[in-house]
Amino acid sequence: MSRVVLRRSGPRQLVGIDERNQTLTIDVSPDVGGEWAGLKPSELLPFSLGACIAVTAIGILEKMRQGPFELTVRIDFEHDDEPPKAFTRFRLEWLFHGSNLDPEKLQKAVDIAEERYCSVSASLKDDIVVEHIIKIES
Distance CA 122, CA 3 (A): 19
Residues 12 and 48 in one domain: no
Residues 93 and 129 in one domain: yes
Domain membership of residue 77 as a residue range:
41-137
121: amino acid identity, one letter: S
pLDDT category of residue 138 using cuts at 50, 70 and 90: confident
Q: What is the pLDDT of residue 68?
A: 95
pLDDT tens for 23-44 read 999 999 999 999 999 999 999 9
Residues 34 and 59 in one domain: no
Residues 115 and 69 in one domain: yes
- Check whether 2 has a pLDDT greater than 80: yes
pTM (predicted TM-score): 0.91
Q: What is the pLDDT of residue 46?
A: 97
Q: What is the CATH number of the domain that holds 86?
A: 3.30.300.20
Which contacts (CB < 8 Å, 24+ apart) does range 129-133 have?
A: 129/88, 129/89, 129/90, 130/49, 130/89, 130/90, 130/92, 131/89, 131/90, 131/91, 131/92, 132/92, 132/93, 132/94, 132/107, 133/91, 133/92, 133/93, 133/94
Residues 64 and 129 in one domain: yes
31: amino acid identity, one letter: D
pLDDT tens for 42-100 read 999 999 999 999 999 999 999 999 999 999 999 999 999 999 999 999 999 999 999 98
Q: What is the pLDDT of residue 115?
A: 95
Residues 51 and 20 in one domain: no
pLDDT tens for 94-129 read 999 999 899 999 999 999 999 999 999 999 988 788
